[in-house]
Structure 1
């Protein structure tokens, strides 16, 4: 199963200048719990936005840079090659960025979205979710609090 996992604002914003636009500790915890032990596929810029590789995950990085290397990571030049090297019997996670999500939404099986209930100025966006192709199967609202500046909802969509 191929799952796209992302935190997405109301205007589909993902980030700006290769940075996230919000800090939601519960979303980070959920991301860690859901993706730990799995293959995670990402673009080079997404990988480079991390201070270091994420623990307990196999990183598959997509880049057009021919000689790009990253220690203890798999580097490929296309989404198709990235998916091909991941175990078929396990859930694989696409974690960004915008260009990778745009390619992957056409072939993904599941969307694991944290919908941040705010709009942001951004330069990277998640593709529009076409509700004729995707069914919302779970939704869990979290109000803002002292640790979370914005209301957000965990949403799960499955391909129809």
Structure 2
């Protein structure tokens, strides 16, 4: 996959790497939603069809790109591409036109696994829970990455503690 702009993966994951259950997130963290919005706003976002379905609508202020093998799929508010490579090419074209310097891959598990080896940056919200799940963030070799930022958020009421980590490929 040829690209000149960095590809970043953004995900919230439990201590057991769970990112989802029944096509939804196993927690509700308003602070993480705000962080996600601030990190992705104005940028092209690439997602799989299940992630699109879980959102229920296009995310405003971003180019929504969906990767699907379903050739005739049409989605209102999103562009559909048959492969991650084609989606990244379109995201980069749009980003360069807009003066944006980062491409965002927002899930789910299959696309994270495909995109990890091309990724330049990881925005990981580490949630202090180990919930049951059916979707996981892929394991990654921490020797190939450097933790450049770690912002802890304490538990509040029924909300677990979590931290915003940013990893960059070394």
TM-score of the superposed pair, with normalisation by structure 1: 0.96
Q: Which runs of 5+ in 2 are unaligned?
A: 1-5
Report what 2:3 is aligned to: none
Q: How much does 1:149 deviate?
A: 1.3
Point out the more displaced range, 48-57 or 106-115: 48-57
> Separation in 2 of the partners of 1:58 and 1:131?
30
Which protein is richer in helix relative to its size?
2
Matched, 1:117 2:117: no
Q: Which runs of 5+ in 1 are unaligned?
A: none
Q: How much does 1:129 deviate?
A: 2.2
Report what 1:9 is aligned to: 14
Moved over 4 A (4+): none
What is the CA deviation profile of residues 19-38 of structure 1, one whole-angstrom value per residue up to 9, with x for unaligned ones? 10000000000101111111
Give aligned pairs, total: 159
What is the CA deviation profile of residues 84-107 of structure 1, one whole-angstrom value per residue up to 9, with x for unaligned ones? 112365211000000000010100
What is the CA deviation profile of residues 42-92 of structure 1, one whole-angstrom value per residue up to 9, with x for unaligned ones? 000000111211111101100011110111311001110010112365211
TM-score of the superposed pair, with normalisation by structure 2: 0.90
